Structure 1
Amino acid sequence: MKASLDDIYLFMLTVRHGGISVAAKAHSLQRSKISRRIQQLEKDLGCQLLIRTTRQIELTENGRLFYQYINQPLSEVDQAVNLVKSQQQAFSGVLKMAIPAAFISSSVFLEILDRYTEQFPDVTLDIIHRYESIDLKRENIDLQLLPNIVDVINENYVQQTLLSSANRLYCSPKYLESYSLPTTMEALYQHPILTSRYNSTLLPERMNVRLVSEDFGLINRLTESGRGIAILPVVLFEDKVASGDLIPVLPETFEIDIVMTLVYPSRRFIPVKTRAMIELLREQFSK
């Protein structure tokens, strides 16, 4: 559907006045009409233009781009419409993802990135490390992966469970050269524990935590060198257990379950490059 010039004009007035209410008052228009027409414009373009709050509005990245183009002679308005719509429908540009550092080095995530870059070579992946929930719209980030122990900053964002990850205790044969294998939780409290930040928040106070890191690779290397007992995701280290490099500790007693959640701003306005990553993540984790 072709975007209406009237709707574009109302959007431009809203940006110039810094809000829907101010624009409506300045031009003797109904606030509800301007809001409704801008929603229709967003629907026609297939992307969100404004972040609406109680007191003001903010432009999304697409909103800034669109306003930059339409604030030109009328002959360039069609070009702006086509540009924004094509961006939503193209496997090109940048896809920004916020991922916990602990997850970055996992073989599961590396396989996902490898498959995506092979299928969509014209998309640049911009991966940032974030432990906390972030405002995706304001920071112009398409997707975020978070464990369920972190509250999502915006309850209106889409949240989809990808997988439940069991985390268990492991030590190495080298560690057992100096220490006996604990057989009870009481005995475990005497041993140095190596863990991720997420897991550390769920441990009993008496636990002797000696290292907290976002890097599972680092935790694994220190564990294999005999520096302590680690809490690691089962799914990422099954091969190490099978090879004998890691030895389960209290496998019938201790386990922490963390659910990984995929977060993105909206179901309505999803660029095709973002939707492709969402589907790839679902497919990979469904295994």
Structure 2
Amino acid sequence: MKASMDDLYLFILTVRHGGISAAAQAHGLQRSKVSRRLQELEKALGCQLLIRTTRQIELTEHGRLLYQHINQPLSDVNQAISLLKNQQQSLQGVLRIAVPAAFIASTLFAELLDDYARQFPDITLEIIHRHESIDLKRENVDLQLLPDVVDIINEDYVQQVFFPSKKGLFCSPHYLLNHPRPESVNALFEHAILTSSYDSSILPEGLTIRLISEDLGLVNKMAQSGHGIALLPMILVRQQLQQGQLIHLLPDIYQSEIAMTLVYSSRQFLPEKTRSMINLLRDKFLNHH
């Protein structure tokens, strides 16, 4: 679909007046028509240009890029349109992913980035540490991975649950030299517990919580150092279990589930670089339950 020059003009008016309603009123147009034509423009370009709120609009990164060129001669406008389309379809540029710090430390995530970097060498990966849900459009982030217990701030964003994994209780061999091995959940009341705020609410009340941290890598390290019993995802401790640095406690009694939610802003305006990462996530994590 080819972008209409009339729609581009309406885009300019909307940006200049700071909103769809203001632009429509200033030029004697129907607001619904302006809104519909802007949607057609986004569809033609294959990317989102505006973040619409009740009273105003904000430009996305693509919207700013287009507006920077759009007041130039017509040849530059056409060049800007081609640039946007190429950006959406090409496998280059920057892919920004927001991920909890603990997940970054996992072997699976390192393997994922290694595979992606090998397949798409022209894409720069930018990994951002975030434990809370963020506004992807305003922070110019392509994807976010979060534990499924975290509420997503924008319900319009696409959410896909990946990476289901068991959680368990772990401690170091050194810790058991100085503390009795728990043989039941009730025995946990005699021990110091290391956990995240996500998980502290699902543990029995009255336990002695020695450490609460959103950084599960830190919880893991503290457990290895003998500071207590940690509640951690199995997928984060496999290497430590194989090397004997951690011991799995109560494996037949205490288990719970954890999953990660993959969040992105839109299915309709999905750049190929983002789609490729989503496909890689699906292929890798669905095979590692």
* Aligned pairs for 1:25-174 within 5 A: 25-174=25-174
Residue in structure 1 matched with residue 191 of structure 2 by the alignment: 191
Residue in structure 1 matched with residue 263 of structure 2 by the alignment: 263
Aligned-residue CA RMSD (Å) = 1.4
CA displacement, residues 178-223 of structure 1 (integer Å, 9 cap, x when unaligned): 1110112222112111223322343233121112234444333332
SS in 2 for 1:150: coil
Residue in structure 1 matched with residue 222 of structure 2 by the alignment: 222
SS in 1 for 2:132: coil
CA displacement, residues 108-140 of structure 1 (integer Å, 9 cap, x when unaligned): 000000111111111111111111101111111
Cα distance between partner residues in 1 of 2:71 and 2:207: 60
Q: Shift of residue 238 of structure 1?
A: 2.9
Q: Shift of residue 225 of structure 1?
A: 2.7
Cα distance between partner residues in 2 of 1:211 and 1:242: 25
Q: Shift of residue 243 of structure 1?
A: 4.1
Residue in structure 1 matched with residue 17 of structure 2 by the alignment: 17
Residue in structure 1 matched with residue 248 of structure 2 by the alignment: 248
Q: Is the 8 A contact 2:233 2:258 kept in 1?
A: no
Q: Which TM-score applies when normalising by structure 1?
A: 0.95
Q: Is the 8 A contact 2:101 2:130 kept in 1?
A: yes
Q: Is the 8 A contact 2:158 2:263 kept in 1?
A: yes
Q: Is the 8 A contact 1:135 1:154 kept in 2?
A: yes
SS in 2 for 1:188: helix
Q: Is the 8 A contact 1:172 1:245 kept in 2?
A: yes
Residue in structure 2 matched with residue 285 of structure 1 by the alignment: 285
Q: Shift of residue 285 of structure 1?
A: 0.6
Cα distance between partner residues in 2 of 1:95 and 1:201: 34
CA displacement, residues 2-29 of structure 1 (integer Å, 9 cap, x when unaligned): 2111110011111111111111111111
Residue in structure 1 matched with residue 212 of structure 2 by the alignment: 212
Counterpart AA for 1:275: R
Percent identity for Structure 1 against Structure 2: 62
Counterpart AA for 1:161: V
Q: Is the 8 A contact 1:199 1:256 kept in 2?
A: no
Residue in structure 2 matched with residue 202 of structure 1 by the alignment: 202
Q: Which TM-score applies when normalising by structure 2?
A: 0.95
Counterpart AA for 1:240: Q
Cα distance between partner residues in 2 of 1:101 and 1:198: 14
Q: Is the 8 A contact 2:106 2:235 kept in 1?
A: no
* Greater Cα offset, 181-190 or 220-229: 220-229
Q: Shift of residue 174 of structure 1?
A: 1.1
Counterpart AA for 1:17: H
Structure 2 unaligned residues grouped into runs of 5+: none
CA displacement, residues 23-77 of structure 1 (integer Å, 9 cap, x when unaligned): 1111111111111111111011110001111111111111011111102222311
SS in 1 for 2:190: coil
Q: Is the 8 A contact 1:102 1:196 kept in 2?
A: no
Q: Shift of residue 261 of structure 1?
A: 0.7
CA displacement, residues 238-260 of structure 1 (integer Å, 9 cap, x when unaligned): 34334433222122222232221
Structure 1 unaligned residues grouped into runs of 5+: none
Cα distance between partner residues in 2 of 1:148 and 1:142: 18
* Aligned pairs for 1:169-180 within 5 A: 169-180=169-180
